[in-house]
């Protein structure tokens, strides 16, 4: 069966669902999920400011943009964020439906194309989907419910305050009743109420929010193979393309011979794609494209190309030597990211100091779905189907690259087979679009896994040096953390080796420790490959270093890990940015500090919950140990307690307890699945994932030499979600689970064996 | 020309006999539930059944499956309600979902051969199916649920 779709059709990612509420609920899995029941006082929805207003195109709260109601009562909700596995395509509409009193079984979800002026910000990264849209979703749902009640009141000639809306039914005081479909036309023509005019549901009236019983909207399609990802749209006359890209960023083909490639049956044409390099945002790397009648012919054609590559200026990038340089840089003062108290005095007065250095190799995201996209260029315009995290950016970038009017570019968002930051960068989509124009037919661009491993926008590599001063009683009096890592900025602008405030804000200068004198510095490092962002970004190296250091300091001072963490975190308090030596441009994940403070009480609490959950301190057999780490990122707090066990010379982690404080939790089932996933990905970061470079080219290529955690060594995770009412602002979920995992495993490995590892990846063998 | 029985119907391919079954299924037959994840037999995203056994479609040339009965996720159950699919839904296994068709095909083949696998047997059978999102805990639970009902 071939599925053909008309260009300029409705968004392809559209589903009508059945059986949407889980039979077993989400409590049926092992590794119990723990959410303490809490009695909730009925309370209104007090609006609060977030960083959403500061994002490009902000937040749109117009129900007419996001909601339509058919005459038969079917409610169609627009999902405007990309779905890459976090559940946002389900959870945001679920919040709308709940506040609307819509029956979830009568709700249909359609995916918005890239159009931020219409839908508001769509850039799905930064763990922002729920944090920035839960208020908007409640406002939209509440607006529609209010409008339905008003329409009914008008029709029945009654006071709207006497009209109730419940599960897709509107009821009047004298027993009148109408369905959503009956009132839709009149309701949607009414003025949209203001926030103050809406009688929001109290939390005890929530049907779906906070329950974790709504299943993801794509569940059935995913399990039957009907779900549509980047490479899954079939268009009439579509061609299949792959590209041979320069092994070194900024390199070019000095010459190439396509004779043999063109002789491969099925190969139709060969094209040279304009070359890119560093500081060119998400432009393609360039190279030689092979277009064929199927993917296999294109791959064989690519193998048959004869290309002389010229490496260019980054051909001397060797990551081992580079690491030595970064470590050397970390021995020298860098630029100040925080200066609290008088660190020089603290070190001058110290009884002794304690210093450790930690490193981390580059990481490639390797989403399960390698980059793939489909483009169809015609005289009318360009239509794209692609698994992209930021479809409006893609639309504008491609319009610019191809000198098109953005109005004539449509970007349909498919499901993403994982994103993790890689699919924020649409080089692969631009390749498809350029080729479609070139060949005059729809083109499916397929990256192989080797292409993905070798041509990513890599997570940075880093050297982190931490030195503390101790007084005669072993109190920590000074904290000096120097971080050296090439910056994401190098992907956007000519590189001067300096990091961005947002990279420093991710775990370097926001360190919440109760130490009088704190200095954080960044050393220069010039990028030699495209640096991108990977799930949790700079928090990974910073949390790795800080978490490992706390473990080492505990050992040095003869304390257990929990005591050491709690002493450093100190009494419950909020970090005062004015008196903490933080720079004016301190980055709090784009959120106002007053609303999203750095709260040491929350940090200590998640640590205690995870440590208690795993039974930290219990007796363990030889070769087993528990490691602890806690980290604040994306304005959430996550602790990891990892039980490490050596089995046949291999590091295994049979059990983990993870505790997350993400403020109000709208969908605990998806939060649990994100935390389980973060545990596995964090463990891959800890044990396996390292990209290295020789002569400018990536050494690794596929799962042979760039492996990840598999089901023979996954941690059984118990997830503890700290319960909060709605008034405790929802914060990030997708990313913050990752950073504490690697240091917890390193601390657990040390507890199990006395083997202290300071470089990521640490390897899986002891 | 290669002939196979694809989800119960005879299907002929005139393209190169060395084409991996994966690309024939996806590009030529248009059945996109079978996924490309590595192309080298190391991830399991392309898992299909060949004469009832789980195989990596990226590792089989068309001429190696001449005459074989191939089942893809689309042909697993006429209503998409195989007990393994149902177990996957009961436990909300997927995150991004991309690996899941391969995981389900692997699990079905395991349970066809060994209806009551031990936990170690489940891990051994599933350990070559990568889930980058890290759904392993729920995958293993879902295999167990499909096997035992609990
Ligand atoms: S694509 Fe066949 S095993 Fe990975
Ligand atoms: S669910 Fe995303 S790779 Fe398995």
> What's the whole-number average pLDDT of chain A?
94
* Residues of B with Cβ-Cβ distance to A23 under 8 angstroms: 90
For A680, the 3-state DSSP assignment is helix
Residue A693, H or E segment: strand A693-694
Phi-psi region of A198 (alpha: psi -120 to 50; beta: other; left: phi over 0): beta
User: Considering B36, B54, B75, which residue would you say is the last residue of a domain?
Assistant: B75
**Model pLDDT, residue A31:** 43
Mean pLDDT computed over A497-514:
98
Mean pLDDT computed over A60-81:
98
**Model pLDDT, residue A35:** 40
What CATH number should be reported for the domain holding residue B29?
3.10.20.30
The answer to whether the CB of B94 is under 6 A from ligand 2 is yes
Assess whether A112 and A238 both reside in one domain.
no
Assess whether A276 and A195 both reside in one domain.
no
For residues A222 and A279, is the Cβ–Cβ distance under 8 A?
no
DSSP B81-108: --HHHHHHHHTT--SS-TTHHHHHHHHH
| A710 pLDDT above the threshold of 50 | yes
How distant, in Å, are the alpha carbons of A99, A125, A322, A664, A677 from that of A132? 17, 11, 39, 13, 22
More confident residue, A23 or A189: A189
Assess whether B58 and B19 both reside in one domain.
yes
For A569, the 3-state DSSP assignment is helix
C-alpha neighbours within 13 Å on the C-beta side of residue A24: 19
Least confident of A168-172, A574-578, A595-599, A705-709: A574-578
Number of other residues whose CB lies within 10 A of the CB of residue A471: 14
Assess whether A93 and A139 both reside in one domain.
yes
For A463, the 3-state DSSP assignment is strand
| A12 pLDDT above the threshold of 50 | no
Phi-psi region of A412 (alpha: psi -120 to 50; beta: other; left: phi over 0): beta
Cα distance between the two ends of chain A: 51
Mean pLDDT computed over A605-632:
98
Tell which B residues from 72 to 131 touch A, by Cβ distance under 8 Å.
72-74, 80, 85, 88-92, 94-101, 104, 123-124, 126-131
Residue A184, H or E segment: helix A180-188
**Model pLDDT, residue A23:** 40
User: Considering A395, A413, A446, which residue would you say is the last residue of a domain?
Assistant: A446
Assess whether B71 and B51 both reside in one domain.
yes
User: Considering B17, B41, B75, which residue would you say is the last residue of a domain?
Assistant: B75
Cα–Cα dist A414/A429, whole Å? 12
Assess whether A518 and A641 both reside in one domain.
yes
Sign of CA dihedral A554, A560, A566, A570: negative
For residues A103 and A1, is the Cβ–Cβ distance under 8 A?
no
To 5 degrees, how large is the angle CA A728–CA A577–CA A121? Answer: 55
Assess whether B38 and B90 both reside in one domain.
no
Residue A295, H or E segment: helix A295-304
Number of other residues whose CB lies within 10 A of the CB of residue A456: 25
Backbone angles phi, psi at A315, to 5 degrees: -70, -10
**Model pLDDT, residue A8:** 33
Alpha-carbon Rg for chain B in angstroms: 15
Assess whether B65 and B13 both reside in one domain.
yes
Residue range(s) defining the domain that contains residue B101: 83-148
| A256 pLDDT above the threshold of 60 | yes
Name the minimum distance, in Å, from the CA of B69 to any CA of chain A. 17
* Residues of A with Cβ-Cβ distance to B135 under 8 angstroms: 673, 676-677
Q: Closest chain A residue to B120 measured between Cα atoms?
A: A712
Out of A368, A415, A703, name the one closest to residue B99 (CB).
A368
**Ligand 1, CB cutoff 6 Å, lining residues:** B 36-39, 41-46, 56, 58
pLDDT in tens, A158-182: 999 999 999 999 999 999 999 999 9
Number of other residues whose CB lies within 10 A of the CB of residue A725: 13
Assess whether A180 and A50 both reside in one domain.
yes
Assess whether B106 and B66 both reside in one domain.
no
Backbone angles phi, psi at A216, to 5 degrees: -60, 140
Count of domains observed in chain A: 3
Q: Return the structure tokens found at A703.
A: 């799962």
Assess whether A354 and A243 both reside in one domain.
no
Assess whether B65 and B130 both reside in one domain.
no
**Model pLDDT, residue A726:** 96
| A44 pLDDT above the threshold of 80 | no
Sign of CA dihedral A702, A703, A707, A709: positive
Query: A754 exposed, middle or buried (CB, 10 Å; 0-12, 13-18, 19+)?
Result: exposed
| A610 pLDDT above the threshold of 60 | yes
- Residue A469 preceded by cis peptide, ω within 30: no
Residue range(s) defining the domain that contains residue A163: 12-221
User: Considering B45, B75, B105, which residue would you say is the last residue of a domain?
Assistant: B75
For residues A459 and A761, is the Cβ–Cβ distance under 8 A?
no
Cα–Cα dist A626/A667, whole Å? 29
In sequence order, what are the residues at sequence separation of 6 or more whose Cβ sits closer than 8 angstroms to the Cβ of residue A436? A375, A376, A377, A382, A442, A443
| A701 pLDDT above the threshold of 90 | yes
Assess whether A279 and A176 both reside in one domain.
no
**Model pLDDT, residue A30:** 45
**Model pLDDT, residue A43:** 52
Assess whether A579 and A688 both reside in one domain.
yes
For A523, the 3-state DSSP assignment is strand
Cα–Cα dist A372/A709, whole Å? 24
Count of domains observed in chain B: 2
Alpha carbon A375 to chain centroid, angstroms: 25
| A678 pLDDT above the threshold of 60 | yes
Assess whether A543 and A658 both reside in one domain.
yes
Assess whether A518 and A581 both reside in one domain.
yes
For residues A569 and A607, is the Cβ–Cβ distance under 8 A?
yes
- Measured in Å, residue A2 CA sits from the centre of ligand 2 at 25
Cα–Cα dist B31/A515, whole Å? 60
DSSP A312-350: -TTTT--HHHHHHHHHHHHTS--EEEEEES-HHHHHHH-
User: Considering A416, A446, A476, which residue would you say is the last residue of a domain?
Assistant: A446
pLDDT in tens, A318-360: 999 999 999 999 999 999 999 999 999 999 999 999 999 999 9
What CATH number should be reported for the domain holding residue A181?
3.30.365.10
Report which DSSP code applies to A239. Answer: E
Assess whether B44 and B92 both reside in one domain.
no
Tell which A residues from 226 to 285 touch B, by Cβ distance under 8 Å.
226-229, 231-232, 234, 240, 265-266
* Residues of A with Cβ-Cβ distance to B134 under 8 angstroms: 676-681, 709, 714
Within an 8 Å CB–CB cutoff, is residue A618 touching chain B? no
Number of other residues whose CB lies within 10 A of the CB of residue A618: 8
Alpha carbon A587 to chain centroid, angstroms: 18
Q: Return the structure tokens found at A50.
A: 């977030």
Alpha carbon A559 to chain centroid, angstroms: 35
Alpha-carbon Rg for chain A in angstroms: 27
Tell which A residues from 46 to 85 touch B, by Cβ distance under 8 Å.
83-85
Contact A681 B132 (CB under 8 A): yes
Number of other residues whose CB lies within 10 A of the CB of residue A548: 28
* Residues of B with Cβ-Cβ distance to A215 under 8 angstroms: 89, 92
For residue A552, being part of any structural domain is answered with yes
Place of tokens 């709700």: A107
What CATH number should be reported for the domain holding residue B118?
1.10.150.120
**Model pLDDT, residue B150:** 79
Residue (of A536, A391, A534, A537) closest to A452 by Cα position:
A534
Place of tokens 């809306």: A165
Residue A560, H or E segment: none
What's the ipTM? 0.99
Query: A90 exposed, middle or buried (CB, 10 Å; 0-12, 13-18, 19+)?
Result: buried
| A88 pLDDT above the threshold of 50 | yes
Contact B134 A218 (CB under 8 A): no
Assess whether B63 and B122 both reside in one domain.
no
Mutate to test the interface with A, among B33, B89, B90 (most CBs of A within 10 A): B89
Within an 8 Å CB–CB cutoff, is residue A403 touching chain B? no
Assess whether A494 and A640 both reside in one domain.
yes
Q: Return the structure tokens found at B52.
A: 């009832």
Mean pLDDT computed over A471-480:
98
pLDDT in tens, B108-146: 999 999 999 999 999 999 999 999 999 999 999 999 999
Within an 8 Å CB–CB cutoff, is residue B32 touching chain A? yes
pLDDT in tens, A438-465: 999 999 999 999 999 999 999 999 999 9
For residue A755, being part of any structural domain is answered with yes
* Residues of B with Cβ-Cβ distance to A706 under 8 angstroms: none
For residues A668 and A33, is the Cβ–Cβ distance under 8 A?
yes
Number of other residues whose CB lies within 10 A of the CB of residue A203: 18
Cα–Cα dist B111/A223, whole Å? 17
Cα–Cα dist A70/A634, whole Å? 38
Residue (of A232, A229, A234, A223) closest to A417 by Cα position:
A229
pLDDT in tens, B39-84: 999 999 999 999 999 999 999 999 999 999 999 999 999 999 999 9
pLDDT in tens, A177-230: 999 999 999 999 999 999 999 999 999 999 999 999 999 999 999 999 999 999
Assess whether B92 and B117 both reside in one domain.
yes
Percent of chain A with pLDDT over 90: 94
Assess whether B61 and B35 both reside in one domain.
yes
For residues A315 and A247, is the Cβ–Cβ distance under 8 A?
no
What confidence tier does B149 reach under pLDDT thresholds 50, 70, 90?
confident
Assess whether B67 and B110 both reside in one domain.
no
| A437 pLDDT above the threshold of 60 | yes
Cα–Cα dist B111/B76, whole Å? 13
Q: Return the structure tokens found at B60.
A: 């089989």
Backbone angles phi, psi at B136, to 5 degrees: -55, -45
Characterize A737-747 residue by residue with b for buried, 16 or more Cβ atoms within 10 angstroms of its Cβ, and e for exposed: bbbbbbbbbbb
Assess whether B89 and B133 both reside in one domain.
yes
Contact A449 B40 (CB under 8 A): yes
Assess whether A479 and A506 both reside in one domain.
yes
User: Considering A413, A446, A479, which residue would you say is the last residue of a domain?
Assistant: A446
């Amino acid at each position: 069966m071939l599925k053909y779709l008309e260009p300029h059709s409705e968004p392809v990612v559209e589903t009508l669902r059945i059986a949407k509420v889980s039979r077993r609920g989400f409590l049926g899995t092992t590794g119990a999920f723990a959410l303490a029941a809490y009695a909730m006082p009925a309370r209104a929805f007090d609006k609060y400011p977030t960083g959403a207003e500061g994002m490009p195109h902000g937040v749109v709260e117009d129900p007419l943009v996001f909601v339509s109601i058919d005459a038969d009562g079917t409610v169609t909700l627009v999902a405007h964020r990309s779905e890459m596995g976090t559940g946002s395509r389900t959870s945001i509409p679920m919040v709308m439906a709940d506040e609307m009193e819509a029956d979830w079984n009568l709700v249909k979800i359609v995916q918005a194309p890239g159009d931020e002026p219409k839908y508001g910000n769509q850039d799905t990264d930064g763990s922002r989907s729920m944090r920035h849209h839960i208020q908007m979703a409640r406002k939209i749902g509440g607006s529609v419910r209010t409008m339905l009640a008003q329409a009914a009141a008008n029709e029945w000639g009654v006071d709207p305050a006497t009209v109730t809306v419940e599960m897709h039914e509107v009821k009047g005081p004298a027993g009148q009743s109408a369905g959503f479909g009956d009132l839709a036309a009149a309701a949607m023509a009414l003025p949209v109420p203001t926030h103050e005019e809406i009688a929001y549901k109290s939390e005890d009236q929530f049907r779906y929010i906070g329950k974790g019983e709504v299943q993801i909207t794509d569940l059935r399609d995913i399990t039957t193979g009907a779900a549509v990802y980047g490479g899954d749209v079939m268009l009439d006359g579509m061609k299949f393309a792959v590209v041979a890209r320069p092994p070194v960023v900024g390199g070019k083909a000095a010459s190439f011979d396509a004779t043999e490639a063109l002789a491969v049956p099925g190969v139709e044409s060969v094209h040279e794609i304009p070359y890119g390099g560093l500081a060119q945002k998400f432009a393609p790397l360039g190279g030689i494209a092979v277009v064929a009648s199927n993917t296999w012919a294109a791959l064989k054609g690519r193998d048959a190309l004869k290309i002389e590559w010229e490496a260019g200026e980054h051909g001397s990038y060797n990551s081992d030597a580079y690491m030595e340089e970064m470590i050397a840089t970390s021995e020298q003062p860098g630029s100040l990211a925080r200066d609290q108290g008088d660190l020089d005095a603290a070190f001058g007065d110290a009884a002794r100091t304690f210093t450790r250095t930690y490193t981390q190799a580059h990481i490639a995201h390797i989403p399960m779905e390698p980059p793939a996209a489909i483009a169809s260029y015609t005289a009318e315009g360009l239509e794209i189907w692609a698994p992209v995290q930021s479809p409006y950016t893609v639309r504008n970038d491609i319009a610019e690259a191809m000198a098109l009017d953005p109005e004539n570019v449509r970007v349909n968002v498919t499901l993403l087979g994982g994103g993790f930051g890689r699919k924020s960068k649409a080089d692969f989509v631009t390749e498809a679009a350029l080729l479609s124009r070139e060949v005059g037919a729809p083109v499916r661009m397929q990256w192989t896994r080797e292409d993905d491993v070798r041509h990513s926008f890599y997570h940075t590599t880093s050297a982190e040096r931490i030195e503390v001063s101790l007084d005669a009683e072993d109190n920590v009096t000074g904290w000096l953390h120097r971080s050296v890592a090439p910056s994401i900025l190098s992907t956007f602008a000519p590189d001067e080796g300096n990091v961005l405030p947002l990279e420093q804000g991710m775990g370097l200068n926001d360190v919440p420790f109760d130490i009088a004198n704190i200095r954080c510095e960044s050393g220069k490092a010039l990028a030699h490959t495209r640096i991108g962002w990977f799930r949790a970004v700079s928090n990974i190296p910073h949390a790795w270093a800080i978490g490992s250091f706390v473990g080492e300091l505990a050992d040095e001072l003869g304390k257990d890990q929990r005591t050491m963490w709690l002493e450093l975190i100190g009494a419950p308090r909020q970090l005062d940015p004015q008196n903490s030596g933080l720079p004016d441009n301190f980055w709090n994940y784009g959120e106002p500090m007053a609303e999203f403070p750095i709260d040491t009480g929350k940090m200590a609490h998640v640590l205690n919950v995870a440590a208690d959950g795993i039974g930290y301190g219990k007796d363990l057999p030889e070769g087993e140990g528990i490691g602890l780490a806690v980290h604040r990122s994306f304005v959430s707090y996550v602790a990891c307690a990892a039980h490490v066990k050596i089995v046949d010379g291999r590091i295994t982690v049979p059990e983990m307890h993870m505790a997350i404080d993400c403020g109000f939790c709208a969908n605990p089932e998806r939060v649990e699945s994100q935390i389980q996933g973060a545990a596995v990905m964090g463990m891959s970061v800890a044990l396996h994932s390292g990209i290295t470079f020789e002569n400018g080219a990536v050494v690794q290529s596929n799962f042979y030499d760039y492996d990840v955690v598999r089901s023979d060594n996954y941690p059984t995770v118990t997830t503890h979600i700290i319960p909060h009412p709605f008034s405790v602002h929802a914060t990030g979920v997708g990313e913050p689970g990752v950073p504490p995992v690697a240091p917890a495993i390193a601390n657990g490995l040390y507890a199990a064996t006395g083997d202290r590892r300071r470089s990521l990846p640490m390897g899986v063998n002891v | 020309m290669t002939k196979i029985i694809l989800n119960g119907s005879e299907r002929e391919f005139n393209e190169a006999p060395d084409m991996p079954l994966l690309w024939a299924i996806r590009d030529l037959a248009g059945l996109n539930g079978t996924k490309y994840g590595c192309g080298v037999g190391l991830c399991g995203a392309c898992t299909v059944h060949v004469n009832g056994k789980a195989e990596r479609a990226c590792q089989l040339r068309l001429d190696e499956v001449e005459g074989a009965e191939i089942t893809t996720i689309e042909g697993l159950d006429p209503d998409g309600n195989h007990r393994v699919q149902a177990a996957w839904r009961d436990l909300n296994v997927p995150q991004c979902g991309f690996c899941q068709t391969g995981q389900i095909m692997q699990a079905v083949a395991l349970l066809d051969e060994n209806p009551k696998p031990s936990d170690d047997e489940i891990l051994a059978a599933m350990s070559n199916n990568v889930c980058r999102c890290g759904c392993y805990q729920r995958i293993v639970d879902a295999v167990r649920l499909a096997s035992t009902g609990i």
